[in-house]
Amino acid sequence: MSLPLVVLLPFLGAIAAPLFAQGGRTAIAIASSVPALIALAALFPHWPVLAAGGTVLHSYEWLPVLGLSFSFRLDGLALLFALLILIIGLLIILYAHYYLKAKENVAKFYSLLLCFKGSMLGIVLSGNLLLMLIFWELTSLTSFLLISFWTHKQDARRGARMALAVTGGGGLALLAGILLIGNIAGSFELDDVLAAGDQIKAHALYPVALTLVLLGAFTKSAQFPFHFWLPHAMQAPTPISAYLHSATMVKAGIFLMARLYPALAGTEQWFYMVSFTGMATLLLGAYIAMFKHDLKGLLAYSTVSHLGLITLLLGMGTQLAAVAALFHVINHATFKASLFMAAGIIDHETGTRDMRRINGLWRYMPHTATLAMVAASSMAGVPLLNGFLSKEMFFAESLQLNLPGLWAWLPPIVATLAGIFAVAYSARFIHDVFFNGKPVDLPKYPPHEPPRYMKIPVEILVFACIMVGVFPAVSVGPLLYAAASATLGGNVPDYQLAVIHGFNLPLLMSFMAFFGGLLMYSQRKRFFAFHARFREIDEKAVFEALVSKIVSLANRFTGWVENGSLQRYAMLLVLSVIAVTALPLADNGIYVGENGLSPADWPTAIAAGVLIIAALATVVWHRERFFALILLSVVGLIVALAFARFSAPDLAMTQLSVEVVTIVLLMLALYYMPSWTPMESSGTQRIRDILIALAAGTGMTLITLTMLTQPFSTISAFFLENSKPGGGGTNVVNVILVDFRGFDTLGEITVLAIAALGIYSMLKNTALTPPPGDGLGHAWTRDQYPLMLRQIARPMLPLALLVSAYIFLRGHNLPGGGFIAGLITSVALILQYIASGMIWTQDRIPFRYHNVIGLGLLFATVAGAGSLAFGYPFLTTAFGYITWPVVGKFEVASALVFDLGVYLAVIGATLLALVSIGRLSPHSAIKSQKEGV
């Protein structure tokens, strides 16, 4: 339990910390320290196991199907990094307490810092690669928020965005790499992956996987050519920079390489990719650092350079080099964190970080100066300090590389050259800032020492630099051994941590670097002049230009795909449907199935011919809308006949009544619309559409033909058998609707109701003036409500209602039912509106259609829920027989109540829709609003 707790605590702290903001800055700083203190205490008991080279694993299942588990694993390497993260994190909190100004949002600061800390701990303690990746992405996100902490600064926002883009992009590559590795190794558990090293390296996809993983590591650890984000991330408050760029964020990439060292390292590809990237980064960072006038800029490029050094060591592939790499991780973290803090103090006390202005501070702050000078000496590699030890190991290893011919000289030369630059920029940090004349035009004058406690974190770190430098074996020996053992899979080479290994080539290189660096610094004016001849590339400008280029490309693409034309979308939709359907069709083939074709009879053939002609004629004359509408109704009527012809009387009746309502609806719409369509499409466009339409039509013909000639099996035997005994009705279609699939029907009438209410609300406050005539010069007829029609329509109503009642009642046993009866009633009512007008009819209808819909849904639901009261599932039918005088024996089923609901809902929905449209014209609207339709 203790390992997940270590990771979880900082996140809990992040939630809790803002609560302490009320208690003042000291309270929140103390509260923020608690998670780290508990975590340290939780890690401590594991030390004996780790010192012996063992691991601690706490694993919980999460998504076993994906190979993802909450698996936390502690070994020497993880411990080394966890200690750096926790201890330096604590010092940062203390330091930030004095660094942050009173008006700063400390709650946000500590909260984000703790989130970041938790994410980092998650990376180093993950025992599952996928879990590690989650934390990896979390560090990208939280560091983005930390770098942009001062959100009012544009540079901070841009720097943060750049960091996020680079590290986030690397995270994607890493994801791909991890998936490949997991696939090869058969598991994402770290133990399995590390054990499968040979298998991974022998696999054909190893080069791809390695490249992807290294992309992730290089972007995170700011390796050339991805190094540019790191200096721009210096816009963060200095405590953040000190934390992110010494011990944590940028070390995550290093950690990843060390973590996967047994699984990936030891091949030629690893050697060339990692060591040459490291070499380039080492040299470039050290060179640029020398020319930076900004204190933090110098430290940033020096960080880049040191990360390159560690990468180079890891890339060399020898065991001793790996030990040296880990050693330098510790040393760099200690001296770089203290230097960043010192730079922050100087910035804090002088108001600037420009080394051309801050000179001669020794006189004003000797204490800080001493600390900074010791740390900078360690960075330069001065003996008796920790930086010297790992640099000596680095020099020694650079001589051991077996490169062919003259290439063998490259690593030691690069190493020495980088050493010279490092001494030069360290000397600049010391001499320029603390000596070299007097301060020039400082914003805060005179500078003085910072608060006593602000220096404590720096003192602790500098003390560590000296301790490790003088007593390396005692101070970090065991920890380093445990970490190396974990990295190298137990094969730790013999090495000695001693201050001096005797007079040898590495020591000579150190001397060359030291005096060469001092010489270079003394001649700095010439180098500056030399450097000034080159135009410096502003990475941020390049990056911003790239981003805006991508954005404009994306915009153009979106504009091309989504140009706002629904007509085009419809075409693309149809085309995609054709494409998606064509693929499986091409696979399965189109053929006449084994059932074969049956002969057609003449009446059917003629009807089909008329239908096809009417459909095509609708298209041909679609510009003349009234005529096309009449042709359309011919199509609909023949469809109804087709249903009757092929044994579907219910469908025929439904289609027939819907057809009437639909045509009335379209007629009504046409009253407001232009009655003809202008010719707009170009010839090519029409030909294109015809081709699309023909493709769709041909496709449907072939699919239908293939389907109709296949043998098939159906589940309907159940319905046919149980319709009478179980549902109490002989009309199986109706029993399916109101009983077997009653819940579907309930859903469908609900949709119907929603559509009608949607229509009502869409037209509620809309008025449309119909055009004065049909657009071709004919005025509307003056006889709005023809006498004959009126006289016939009125007596039709009771007759039609009687018919619909009959159709409704018999529906359970013979063709009919709620849907059909409802439509017939609707048609009868609509006829009244047509014949006698909106106002006349509305006056005589005493209810609102909304209520009819509501009542219908209520009936249907209550009929369904009634069965619940008797302990049956929702919508179970009960039926019995009663005998009425005159009518005779009569069946009553609870399904009848349900069907009544359907009937009412259909009437309400249909009429509400049509009346809403009819009400649109101004003169009928006045009246009906008063009525409250």
Among the listed residues 269, 662, 876, 921, the single contact to another protein using CB under 8 A: 662
Among the listed residues 85, 115, 304, 658, the single contact to another protein using CB under 8 A: 658
Is 646 a residue that touches another protein (CB under 8 A)?
A: yes
Among the listed residues 58, 203, 622, 850, the single contact to another protein using CB under 8 A: 622
Is 743 a residue that touches another protein (CB under 8 A)?
A: no
Angstrom distance (rounded) from CA 499 to CA 577: 75
Query: What minimum distance in Å lies between the beta carbon of 605 and another protein?
Result: 6
Query: What minimum distance in Å lies between the beta carbon of 896 and another protein?
Result: 17
Burial class of residue 545, CB neighbours in 10 A (0-12, 13-18, 19+): exposed
Angstrom distance (rounded) from CA 121 to CA 136: 10
Task: Take residue 569 and report the two structure tokens written for it.
Answer: 């979308």
Is 756 a residue that touches another protein (CB under 8 A)?
A: yes
Nearest to 890 by CA among 649, 687, 728, 712: 728
Site for another protein in 894-923 (CB under 8 A): 906, 909-910, 913-914, 916-917, 920
Cis omega (within 30 of 0) for bond into 446: yes
Is 666 a residue that touches another protein (CB under 8 A)?
A: yes
Is 755 a residue that touches another protein (CB under 8 A)?
A: yes
Query: What minimum distance in Å lies between the beta carbon of 571 and another protein?
Result: 6
Is 41 a residue that touches another protein (CB under 8 A)?
A: no
Looking at the Cβ atoms of 744 and 843, the one nearer to another protein is: 744
Query: What minimum distance in Å lies between the beta carbon of 569 and another protein?
Result: 9
Stretch that binds another protein, among 12-20, 318-326, 423-431, 738-746 (CB under 8 A): 738-746
Query: What minimum distance in Å lies between the beta carbon of 735 and another protein?
Result: 8
Is 618 a residue that touches another protein (CB under 8 A)?
A: yes
137: helix, strand or coil:
helix
Looking at the Cβ atoms of 117 and 625, the one nearer to another protein is: 625
Query: What minimum distance in Å lies between the beta carbon of 563 and another protein?
Result: 6
Looking at the Cβ atoms of 202 and 597, the one nearer to another protein is: 597
| Measured distance between the N- and C-terminal CA atoms of the chain, rounded to whole angstroms | 68
Residue 121's alpha-carbon distances to 5, 170, 408, 580, 603, in angstroms, are 11, 19, 39, 48, 82
The alpha-helical segments, DSSP class H, found in 44-75 are 47-51
Query: What minimum distance in Å lies between the beta carbon of 793 and another protein?
Result: 22
Residue 314's alpha-carbon distances to 230, 278, 286, 348, 781, in angstroms, are 21, 9, 19, 37, 94
Q: Which residues contact 58 (CB under 8 A, 6 or more apart)?
A: 1, 2, 3, 4, 71, 72, 73, 127
What residue type is 55 in one-letter code? T
Is 715 a residue that touches another protein (CB under 8 A)?
A: yes
Is 406 a residue that touches another protein (CB under 8 A)?
A: no
Is 615 a residue that touches another protein (CB under 8 A)?
A: yes
Nearest to 829 by CA among 793, 788, 783, 790: 793
Stretch that binds another protein, among 211-219, 480-488, 656-664, 796-804 (CB under 8 A): 656-664
Contact 345, 476 (CB under 8 A): no
Cis omega (within 30 of 0) for bond into 231: no
Looking at the Cβ atoms of 384 and 768, the one nearer to another protein is: 768
Looking at the Cβ atoms of 469 and 729, the one nearer to another protein is: 729
62: helix, strand or coil:
strand
Stretch that binds another protein, among 152-160, 449-457, 641-649, 772-780 (CB under 8 A): 641-649
Is 714 a residue that touches another protein (CB under 8 A)?
A: yes
Is 585 a residue that touches another protein (CB under 8 A)?
A: no
Looking at the Cβ atoms of 690 and 792, the one nearer to another protein is: 690
Adjacent-strand bridge partners of 893:
879
Looking at the Cβ atoms of 718 and 874, the one nearer to another protein is: 718
Looking at the Cβ atoms of 314 and 823, the one nearer to another protein is: 823
Query: What minimum distance in Å lies between the beta carbon of 890 and another protein?
Result: 18
Task: Take residue 445 and report the two structure tokens written for it.
Answer: 């004058």
Q: Which single residue is written with the structure tokens 């750096």? A: 84
Looking at the Cβ atoms of 105 and 750, the one nearer to another protein is: 750
Among the listed residues 719, 808, 898, 903, the single contact to another protein using CB under 8 A: 719
Nearest to 224 by CA among 261, 298, 269, 279: 279
Among the listed residues 669, 687, 865, 926, the single contact to another protein using CB under 8 A: 669
Residue 231's alpha-carbon distances to 236, 568, 680, in angstroms, are 10, 48, 59
Query: What minimum distance in Å lies between the beta carbon of 156 and another protein?
Result: 34
Stretch that binds another protein, among 11-19, 177-185, 234-242, 639-647 (CB under 8 A): 639-647
Is 605 a residue that touches another protein (CB under 8 A)?
A: yes
Looking at the Cβ atoms of 181 and 661, the one nearer to another protein is: 661
Query: What minimum distance in Å lies between the beta carbon of 570 and another protein?
Result: 6
Angstrom distance (rounded) from CA 376 to CA 356: 18
Among the listed residues 200, 488, 611, 830, the single contact to another protein using CB under 8 A: 611
Q: Burial letters for 873-902: b for 16+ Cβ neighbours within 10 Å, e otherwise?
A: eebbbebeeeeeeeeeeeeebbbbbbbbbb
Q: Burial letters for 57-93: b for 16+ Cβ neighbours within 10 Å, e otherwise?
A: ebbeeeeeeebbbbbbbbbbbbbbbbbbbbbbbbbbb
Site for another protein in 680-709 (CB under 8 A): 680-681, 689-690, 692-694, 696-705, 707-709
- Angle, in degrees to the nearest 10, between helices 818-836 and 787-810: 170
Among the listed residues 384, 408, 763, 845, the single contact to another protein using CB under 8 A: 763
Query: What minimum distance in Å lies between the beta carbon of 583 and another protein?
Result: 18
Site for another protein in 787-846 (CB under 8 A): 813-815, 819, 823
Contact 167, 138 (CB under 8 A): no
663: helix, strand or coil:
helix
Do the strands 888-893 and 879-884 form a parallel or antiparallel pair, or are they unpaired?
antiparallel
61: helix, strand or coil:
strand
Looking at the Cβ atoms of 352 and 723, the one nearer to another protein is: 723
Looking at the Cβ atoms of 200 and 860, the one nearer to another protein is: 860
Looking at the Cβ atoms of 37 and 619, the one nearer to another protein is: 619
Is 674 a residue that touches another protein (CB under 8 A)?
A: yes
Among the listed residues 628, 852, 896, 915, the single contact to another protein using CB under 8 A: 628
Looking at the Cβ atoms of 473 and 768, the one nearer to another protein is: 768
Site for another protein in 542-561 (CB under 8 A): 559
Angstrom distance (rounded) from CA 916 to CA 914: 5
Is 731 a residue that touches another protein (CB under 8 A)?
A: yes
Contacts for 661-666: CB closer than 8 Å, 24+ residues apart? 661/823, 661/826, 661/827, 661/830, 661/910, 661/914, 662/636, 663/629, 663/632, 663/633, 663/636, 664/830, 664/834, 664/914, 665/913, 665/914, 665/917, 666/629, 666/632
Query: What minimum distance in Å lies between the beta carbon of 860 and another protein?
Result: 13
Q: Draw the binding track, 510-549, toward another protein (x: CB under 8 A; -: no contact).
A: ----------------------------------------
Angstrom distance (rounded) from CA 50 to CA 52: 5
Is 736 a residue that touches another protein (CB under 8 A)?
A: yes
Q: Burial letters for 234-244: b for 16+ Cβ neighbours within 10 Å, e otherwise?
A: bbbbbbbbbbb
Query: What minimum distance in Å lies between the beta carbon of 444 and another protein?
Result: 51
Looking at the Cβ atoms of 506 and 818, the one nearer to another protein is: 818
